[in-house]
Structure 1
Amino acid sequence: MKVIVISGPTASGKTDLAVELATKFGGEVVNFDSLLLYKEIEIGTAKPTMEEQKTIPHHMLNVRSISNPMNAADYAREALPIIERLLSENKLVYLVGGSGFYLQALLKGMYDSPKTPKEIMKRSDELYEKEGIAPFLSILKDQDRKSFERYHENDHYRVRRAVEHLWTTGSPMSEAREEKDDSNEKMERPTIHNWDLLHIYLDLPKEEHLKIIEKRTDRMLATGLIEEVKGLLDQGFTGLEKPLQSIGYKETLDFILGVYKNLSECRERIVISTRQLAKSQRTWFKRDSFKKTFHPLEERSEIFLQVEKFIREN
């Protein structure tokens, strides 16, 4: 029941490492990066190439449309049976990604948040259609300040979900989340499942990381990110879909709409937003006391030694 987690901030080399490890030691990859779940978006997600996918089986890729967003609970519910099947076939599993909340939902379970009743969802939809996100932000500011401060105003899905939780339960979502976080910190194992788990966390100095982020941004723009977004708009997508509000896509949409005066300004905004995302990912994974941190390039041989030792352990 061997499971290897490969996590880290965006653009830290997680996919490359997973493919190399699986090529040497065997096994299959299960993605936990939230953007890689969607089939219509490719260039801005840094998805594994078709060659990489042919070389090593990848799961939880392209499983949803951007018109039907997946949350962390959905992810855990769909990924768990895949992992259990692979383990039952005595295959090594690599959980690979940077979406810490999705990984936490899978490894430690979700905090208690009941499904939104139809009447509450109707109320939410009607308010959103009539007045947009502003009244939801106002409600959170007054009644769930911690959630208000946690979620960006452009994250309409999570802002609305927090208000719907409040309307459904009568209590703030932040309370349920904090109770679960306290419980997680007291856990003596990295997961609630009966898995033998090794958590490899990749990170590198910020200035070195910046150069990689800049190169990846340039590559995305050069290989057709703007054309990809224009194509999605031509297909009838609005640009307001949750995945299209993510980094890279939101800035590209703004460029198409004329928010930025030139492509250079758009590129700089993507780089800045990506650095901000990396900072928040580092903050998230800092809380994980079970991880082992490695430089993805300078400590590559040490990673392979650790994995080999882990696999050989009974």
Structure 2
Amino acid sequence: MNFLVVITGPTGVGKTKTAIEIAQHFSTEIISSDSRQFYKEIPIGTAAPTPYEQKQVPHHFVGHLSIQDTYNAYSFQNDVIQYIPSLFKKNNIVIMCGGSGMYIDAVCKGIDNIPDIEPEIRQKVIEQHQNEGIASLRTTLKKLDPDYYAIVDLKNPARLMRAIEVCFQTGKPYTSVRKNTQQKRDFVCIPIALSMPRNELYT
């Protein structure tokens, strides 16, 4: 049986340090699931592992992309699922560390292949929200996808905008591409969520 130990928590809580300690204990390697750490142009401000930390334990998916690359949680899922068997050949325990929940869920549970949104469409929806407010988004979504309108949090503009973007991009209701079908994995995910008192985390 293979195990993926998933270290999560807010920035500054000590995920990298904990992941390295666990990886050293099991003589294994680390996959980064922090989407900000993927980009080689922005190592500062992302709490990316330092060269020294990467020398202590091999890290994967750190600085492997350019900010010019198109990449999302679905891409990450495919890359990790393709790559992780090579790590499990060396050790049946692998560590994944990061705070990007959607990317973690994509690896552990699977994610729908939602198409990329063209910049013009995204800007159009953003401007609709800015100029006409959330009520306009609700009206648009109700026309485009009444089924999703019936279940979505109508007070959450981000979710409304995302659904509308997909409707405009595909010409189909959002619910037709949003399957939420959990995919079977040949490894077991073991989540470890780190936390600390808020006053300590932000001092």
Under a length normalisation based on structure 1, what TM-score does the superposition of the two structures give?
A: 0.52
Question: Matches of 1:22 and 1:36 in 2, distance apart?
Answer: 19
Question: Are residue 3 (structure 1) and residue 21 (structure 2) matched?
Answer: no
Amino acid at match of 1:125: E
Q: Residue 147 of structure 1 contacts residue 162 of structure 1 at CA under 8 Å; is this kept in 2? A: no
Q: For residue 143 of structure 1, what is the aligned residue in structure 2?
A: 140
More helix by share: 1
Structure 1, unpaired ranges of 5+: 185-190, 212-314
User: What is the correspondence of 1:131-170 to structure 2 with a 5 Å cutoff?
Assistant: 133-135=126-128, 140-144=137-141, 146=152, 149-150=155-156, 152=158, 159=161, 162-167=163-168, 168-170=170-172
Amino acid at match of 2:31: V
Percent identity, aligned pairs only, is 31
What secondary structure, in the 3-state scheme, does the structure 2 residue paired with 1:43 have? coil
Question: Matches of 2:113 and 2:66 in 1, distance apart?
Answer: 26
Structure of greater relative contact order (alpha carbons < 8 Å, 6+ residues apart)? 2
Change (3 A) 1:90 1:23: closer
Q: Residue 122 of structure 2 contacts residue 165 of structure 2 at CA under 8 Å; is this kept in 1? A: no
What secondary structure, in the 3-state scheme, does the structure 2 residue paired with 1:199 have? strand
What secondary structure, in the 3-state scheme, does the structure 2 residue paired with 1:54 have? helix
Question: Matches of 1:70 and 1:151 in 2, distance apart?
Answer: 23
Question: Matches of 2:157 and 2:69 in 1, distance apart?
Answer: 20
Question: Matches of 1:162 and 1:30 in 2, distance apart?
Answer: 30
Q: Residue 74 of structure 2 contacts residue 113 of structure 2 at CA under 8 Å; is this kept in 1? A: no
Change (3 A) 1:147 1:112: farther
User: What is the correspondence of 1:66-85 to structure 2 with a 5 Å cutoff?
Assistant: 66-85=67-86
Under a length normalisation based on structure 2, what TM-score does the superposition of the two structures give?
A: 0.77
Q: Residue 11 of structure 2 contacts residue 47 of structure 2 at CA under 8 Å; is this kept in 1? A: no
Question: Are residue 204 (structure 1) and residue 201 (structure 2) matched?
Answer: no
Question: Matches of 1:65 and 1:140 in 2, distance apart?
Answer: 33
Aligned pairs, number: 188
Question: Matches of 2:89 and 2:44 in 1, distance apart?
Answer: 34
User: What is the correspondence of 1:155-194 to structure 2 with a 5 Å cutoff?
Assistant: 159=161, 162-167=163-168, 168-172=170-174, 180=180, 192-194=184-186
Question: Matches of 2:177 and 2:100 in 1, distance apart?
Answer: 20
Give, in angstroms, the shift of residue 151 of structure 1: 5.2
Question: Matches of 1:84 and 1:17 in 2, distance apart?
Answer: 23
Structure 1 vs Structure 2 CA RMSD: 3.1
